[in-house]
Amino acid sequence: MGDGDKKRSPQLRCGPILVAGDPSKALLDAGELQGPSCQVHTDFLEAIEAAAKGRFAVIAVVIRGASGRLRSVLKALREASEGRIILLARMSEEPRARRLINAELDGSTLADDYMICPIRFSALAARISEVASKMPPPLKNSPEKQRTAPAELSCESRIRYLEKLATQDDLTGLKNRRYIWEFARQIIERARSEGTRVTLLVFDVDDLKRYNDLYGHLAGDRILRQVAGLIRRCCRRHDVVGRIGGDEFAVIFWDARGGQISCGSERRSARADHPAEAICIARRFVEELEKTEIDLPAGKGKPALAISGGLASFPRDGSTIEELFAQADKALLEAKRSGKNRIYLVGKRQNDIARAD
Amino acid sequence: MAQGGFRTQLEIIILGRRPPKLVETTRQLAEQSGMACVCSEDVYSAVVAVAAGPGGLVVGPFAELNKEQGRFFEIARRNGFACCCYLDDDLSTRRTDLPAALERGAFLITDAAQIRDILTELSRCVCPAHRPGESEIGEPSDRIRRVVEKIIGVGPPRPVAQNGPQPPFVEHFRTTQDELNALFGR
């Protein structure tokens, strides 16, 4: 037994694992995967055959490289095996992974869980062991299928809760700064390799400090939650929205494969031109803001809600996440200096894009 | 084992739903021959069917069977299934894939009616009534695999193959390189 096996054996208590897809696209130490308890099949058809013939506790499916056939592959794996299916997703693939674990298939779902990659094999094994060994896949037509142990569910829930704590802003429920930066870094990397574009909107709430001073910080928190709810509703499902500072928000508009955008009565491809689609969404957001009454204590008046923002696009305005944020931030400052309540596009500063024709 | 029971061990997997004539003909012929018939939506679910199946024939459009760089042909072959590829109109776009598919033991057909002859021959080959020697060796599924192996030209020679005449239809139904050249107008 090699050193790698010695290290792995205590971690793979859940039973054999099948990795379907190219592990180098999901694991930082893909070379260590070979061993008696782990089978790797970079080819999906071979992986399905292995799943049908072997008895795997867990099948880890690498999303990257499976475009266009992932649903069919997952469906076949589900049919072939009773093992739990865990998706290995890049951050940019997280919306897709979420959809797949919620996608119905004859009373089941296409996948059971997902993990954000890249990760180390040891992390994958630890997570799989923790979850899968305590929740063995039920046998077909067995009463076990109906049974779920509360203690085991709570373990999975705890992992989910910790994940949430690490990536979510607890005040607004949006993504936090750490997640936004990491997502932006990965999505820019992907856009660079695939020749797609990414647009970043950074905005803050005008005069929030004044509301805080006048009505108290709880009122300020309510305003932030209102703004968060509005921007989330205006964006497309796959756009990533987060709070990155006190009253500062960021939205990453990116091209989801095969998705669609709803803008007014028109439906368009999510791969349409940048930053035009982002501008369209920003406009709708500003319109919604103007229609919204601020949730203030009774009898305190009904002031209007306003934001100032900056919009920067990759690769036009910057080639790294730092450059893009710096450019968007500069445009935001310019919007503030010009009188607030407007959104400036980098390189087009004298034109409020939220209101321009 | 009764002849009927043996026959049902042979499985026909129909891949996809197009062209309708091919699907319908294959289904009818499978029924008439008393063979089990399984329908698979795509090549991925077909892998599950061949991995669990007793051996037999996979019928479907070439474009679907050839997905994933034609790896399905190898998987089918090692599970005792022969692939019968229907060549549709976009043949010219796939001309580079055809020789590779042939090398992997695929049959090429251009008419749904050809399925009848293939199934008849396959059925005759694995049926103990026609091939008495077969019934004495191994389980029915093994026998089917051996016959399919013989048909698609892989696997070691079996004692039973030496006892009886070789099925002649290999040459009839396998498209040769010359025929392909003729098809492509080369």
The reported pLDDT for the residue numbered A50 is 92
Query: A110 and A58: one domain?
Result: yes
Q: Does residue A87 have a pLDDT over 70?
A: yes
Query: A158 and A189: one domain?
Result: no
Query: A115 and A205: one domain?
Result: no
Determine contact, residues B169/B153, Cβ cutoff 8 Å. no
Which residue among A45, A53, A72 sits closest to B72, beta carbon to beta carbon? A45
CB neighbour class for B133 (10 Å; exposed up to 12, middle 13-18, buried from 19) = middle
Residues 32-71 of A with CB under 8 A from B: 43-46, 48-49, 52-53, 69
Closest CA to A16 of A104, A83, A69: A83
Taking the CA of residue A61 and the nearest CA in chain B, the distance in Å comes to 14
The reported pLDDT for the residue numbered A103 is 75
Query: A205 and A295: one domain?
Result: yes
Domain map (residue ranges) of chain B:
3-184
**What mean pLDDT is predicted for residues A145-153?**
38
B149 vs B141: CA distance, rounded Å: 12
Closest CA to A348 of A297, A306, A322, A311: A311
Does some domain include residue A347? yes
Does some domain include residue A216? yes
The reported pLDDT for the residue numbered A107 is 64
The reported pLDDT for the residue numbered A135 is 53
Query: A136 and A42: one domain?
Result: yes
| Per-residue H/E/C for A251-313 | EEEECCCCCEEEECCEEEECCCCCCHHHHHHHHHHHHHHHHCECCCCCCCCCCECCEEEEEEE
**Chain A residues with beta carbon closer than 8 angstroms to that of B72:** 45
Backbone angles phi, psi at B101, to 5 degrees: -65, -40
Determine contact, residues A120/A106, Cβ cutoff 8 Å. no
A73 vs A55: CA distance, rounded Å: 17
Catalytic residue list contains A247: yes
Query: A153 and A221: one domain?
Result: no
Does some domain include residue A168? no
Query: A65 and A21: one domain?
Result: yes
A81 vs A110: CA distance, rounded Å: 12
Cβ–Cβ gap A52/B45 under 8 Å: no
Tokens matching residue A287: 């319109």
**Chain B residues with beta carbon closer than 8 angstroms to that of A75:** 41, 44-45
Query: A183 and A151: one domain?
Result: no
pLDDT tens readout for residues B77-86: 888 888 888 8
Q: Does B39 touch chain A (CB under 8 A)?
A: no
**Identity of the amino acid at B27:** R
Tokens matching residue B178: 């010359």
Cα Rg of chain A (Å, integer): 23
Measured at the CA of B2, the angle between CA B126 and CA B137, to 5 degrees, comes to 50
Q: How many Cα atoms are found within 13 Å in the side-chain-facing hemisphere of B15?
A: 29
Which residue among B42, B43, B71 sits closest to A46, beta carbon to beta carbon? B71
Taking the CA of residue A100 and the nearest CA in chain B, the distance in Å comes to 17
Which residue is associated with the tokens 């046998």? A139
Determine contact, residues A64/B66, Cβ cutoff 8 Å. no
Determine contact, residues A77/A47, Cβ cutoff 8 Å. yes
Spelled out in words, what is the top-level CATH class assigned to the domain B3-184?
alpha beta
Query: A116 and A227: one domain?
Result: no
DSSP B9: T
| pTM above threshold 0.90 | no
Query: A220 and A124: one domain?
Result: no
Pairing of strands B36-40, A348-352: unpaired
Does some domain include residue A38? yes
Of all residues in chain B, the one with the smallest CA distance to A66 is B68
**Domains identified in chain A, total number:** 2
**What mean pLDDT is predicted for residues B102-118?**
78
pLDDT tens readout for residues A186-212: 888 888 888 888 999 999 999 888 888
Q: Which domain holds residue A134?
A: 3-163
Query: A34 and A134: one domain?
Result: yes
Which residue is associated with the tokens 């229609």? A291
pLDDT tens readout for residues A272-327: 456 778 888 888 888 888 888 776 766 555 667 889 999 999 988 999 999 999 99
The reported pLDDT for the residue numbered A25 is 85
Query: A130 and A278: one domain?
Result: no
Of all residues in chain A, the one with the smallest CA distance to B74 is A46
Closest CA to B53 of B20, B72, B79, B89: B79
The reported pLDDT for the residue numbered B161 is 39
The reported pLDDT for the residue numbered A269 is 43
pLDDT bin (cut points 50, 70, 90) of residue A9 is: very low
